Amino acid sequence: MEDRLAIIHDMESSVRSYVRSFPAVFTKAKGCRIWDEEGAEYLDFFSGAGALNYGHNDDNMKKKLVEYIKDDGITHSLDMASTAKVAFLETLRDVILKPRHMDYKVMFPGPTGTNTVESALKLARKMTGRTEIVSFTNGFHGMTVGALSVTGNSMKRRGAGIPLNHTVTMPYDDFMEEDTHDSLHYFERFLQDNGSGVAVPAAVILETVQGEGGINAARMSWIKRLEEICREWGILMIIDDVQAGVGRTGTFFSFEPAGISPDIICLSKSIGGYGMPLAVTLIKPELDDWIPGEHNGTFRGNNPAFITAVESLKYWADPDFEASIQRKAAVVEDFLNEMIAKYPDMKGRRKGRGLMQGIASDVEGFSEKVAEHAFEHKLIMETAGGSDEVFKLFPPINISDEDLREGLTRIEKSIQDTLKSHVSS
């Protein structure tokens, strides 16, 4: 073990992070399970930070992928047309967009979350002729300079090495704790008063649930009101659904319960289904006024990922699929509420919605410790929030009830371990 990790330590840049929390060399995986080279088996309640919503190496997708590769299907084709791309577009249209009465053009930016965000910001600025973008406190949208400029985290922002401009941060729902008048009123006042120093922006960019920022879930009424403000002022609404989308919250798009109609939607992570890089920017047709090649990239059509994406989207053709996620989400919710009540020393608050939930502990360092103990119990789980104050549960959305229960059991043990070692000390 040591030897195998040593090469990582010797050769990989100090920027590496998760390998520090999960010091093992992983080798195989299936569903919610992952094995290291020593043969140890782990439950994965991390799911690639939302890139593995269907679990690891789904059998259907795997079968199609292997066939495709064996048949010498096109692997790389820039943005030329391919059989795989055509199939993806058709399936996206027929299974996802049409049933939801959504009409969008599909853009393939580079295959990462930050790239779909960069494409969305560019297009919003181009179509409005304005420069400013409004983002929200504790938003996270990516690490390239454009996406970083709408990201809240101060450590990551400093990493840019240059000032990050052309953006204004507004308070997310619930940012002002004693929120007697809601935080959108601030935004409105800044828009209304032409001495506010804040120009009407090109767009707002919003995560309906903030994954990295602490599993903060905005209320549907807040999201709806934000859309109204955008309409009133001619501001484009960009939903960054990279982490919260593709079923993570119980519906395909995270914003569906709010009944809004975003101008631009950013998807990545689980849109490829199998954990291979893919990103998609959905654009209302009237806004799709790019010059050919105005935003491009080498890997903007990843054909193997199209193949697995097509299979993954078929889950959504099953009329019971959403209900099954929501049912499991309720299990998690009940469990977390129970934990908070049962272990008051944890000083916990439940965060998030769907299968994107967690507990924020007001005890310093508590949540990190829970995640550490979980790893000892062979469960992989991440923390979130500016001070890592939240431990977050990201099981696959198609996890079995048994596996889910097993994971929750291990998490309770980890809480108990932490309370013993941490709080009592």
Residues in region 42-81 near a second copy by CB under 8 A: 48-52, 56-57, 62, 65-66, 69-81
CB 350 within 8 A of CB 216: no
Which residue from 32, 53, 96, 138 is in contact with a second copy, where contact means CB under 8 A?
138
Among 38, 98, 99, 159, binds a second copy (CB under 8 A): 159
Token pair for 364: 């310093």
Q: What does the block give as tokens for 368?
A: 């990190």
Among 120, 202, 226, 415, binds a second copy (CB under 8 A): 202
Site for a second copy in 288-327 (CB under 8 A): 288-299, 302, 304
40 binds a second copy (CB under 8 A): no
| CA distance readout (Å), 144 to 2, 49, 113, 149, 167 | 34, 18, 10, 8, 15
Q: Using CB under 8 A, which residues numbered 396 to 425 contact a second copy?
A: none
State which of residues 111, 348, 352, 354 lies at the interface with a second copy (CB under 8 A). 111
Amino acid letter, residue 149: S
Q: How far apart are the first and last CA of the chain?
A: 32
Taking the complex as a whole, the smallest distance from the CB of residue 327 to a second copy amounts, in Å, to 26
For a second copy, the closer of residues 108 and 255 by Cβ is 108
CA-closest candidate to residue 340, choices 326, 361, 357, 363? 361
State yes or no: residue 2 binds a second copy (CB under 8 A): no
Residue from the set 98, 100, 189, 420 that interacts with a second copy by CB under 8 A = 189
* Residue 13 lies near a second copy (rule: CB under 8 A): yes
CB of 102 to a second copy, least distance (A): 12
Phi/psi at 373 (5° precision): -60, -35
**Least separation, in Å, of the C-beta of 79 and a second copy?**
5
**Minimum distance from CB of 287 to a second copy (Å)?**
10
Task: Write the DSSP symbol of residue 383.
Answer: E
The tokens describing 269, both together, are: 């992570």
> What distance separates the 2 farthest-apart alpha carbons in the chain?
64
| 386's tokens | 């500016």
| Minimum separation from the CB atom of position 148 to a second copy (A) | 8
Q: In residues, how long is the chain? A: 425
**Token digits for 405?**
């229960």
Q: Which stretch binds a second copy (CB under 8 A): 145-153, 228-236, 309-317, 355-363?
A: 145-153
Interface residue with a second copy among 40, 98, 99, 145 (CB under 8 A) is 145
Instruction: Tell me the C-alpha distance between 317 and 82, whole Å.
Output: 24
